[in-house]
Amino acid sequence: MTTVTARPVPPLAPTVRQLPPVPPAPHGGEGYRLGLPNTVNAPKVARDFVTSVLGVGRHVPLVDDARLCVTEIVTNVHRHTRTPLIRVHMTVGAAQVTVSVADDDPWALPLPGRPGPGAGPGLGSGEDEEREDGQGLFLVARLSLAWGVTIHGGYSPTHKAIWFTLATDDAAHADHAVET
């Protein structure tokens, strides 16, 4: 298993920190899984799944960010791979949520495109104003506590998982306070 972890886009993190090599699993969390066919409806189904899971617990404030992030990742899988099945896995803990989207094309790695002018402070260059793609992973990086890619299968990779972790404001502030 190989994991690539991306650091949050500044200015999210006040200090530089080492991110874990695998998706951080909330302790004592509950796991939820969804398998869906790689169709044009996959992003909506994944979005509804995330909304349902987070809407019944204490993570209602994370619903909008989770919906946007899972939609971006599932849309990328649909558009850029030929995998027949998209697998969404959620781990919901007391203070954070990790969502992982897996496909069977380990070589189609996600690469952030150059963000457009509406991508947020410090990201938009003003160029390519008509561009509509390539900004999804910048949004995931902007909204998440951490995100990354894990490739499974060792020397003969079989699939990859793109994951992100969201945390309640209290958990995110406590995490940063411990590091400083």
Mean pLDDT of the chain: 76
pLDDT band at residue 153 under the 50/70/90 scheme: confident
Which pLDDT value is given to residue 172?
52
Looking at residue 10, its pLDDT comes to 41
Is residue 153 in a domain? yes
CA distance 100 to 159: 12
pLDDT tens-place string over residues 70-81: 999 999 999 988
Question: How do beta strands 146-152 and 159-167 pair?
Answer: antiparallel
The helix (H) or strand (E) run that includes residue 73 is helix 63-80
Residue 39 in any domain: the answer is yes
Q: Is residue 12 part of a domain?
A: no
Q: Identify the band that residue 63 occupies on the pLDDT scale cut at 50, 70 and 90.
A: very high
For residue 158, being part of any structural domain is answered with: yes
Q: How buried is 157 (Cβ within 10 angstroms: 0-12 exposed, 13-18 middle, 19+ buried)?
A: middle
Q: Is residue 152 one of the residues assigned to a domain? A: yes
Residue 152 banded pLDDT, cuts 50, 70, 90 = confident
C-alpha closest to that of 103 among 125, 81, 119? 81
Which pLDDT value is given to residue 106? 72
Residue 62 located in a structural domain: yes
Report the chain's terminal Cα–Cα distance, integer Å.
Answer: 31
Q: Give the model confidence (pLDDT) of 102-116 as tens digits.
A: 998 877 666 655 444
Structural domain for 107, as ranges? 31-113+132-179
Please count the structural domains in the chain.
1
pLDDT reading at 175 higher than 90:
no
On whether residue 15 sits in a domain, the answer given is no
* 65 Cβ contact list (under 8 Å, min separation 6): 143, 144, 166
Over range 79-91, report the average pLDDT.
Answer: 93
| pLDDT for 28 beyond 70 | no
Say if 118 falls within a structural domain.
no
How high is the pLDDT of residue 118?
42
Q: What is the CATH number of the domain that holds 90?
A: 3.30.565.10
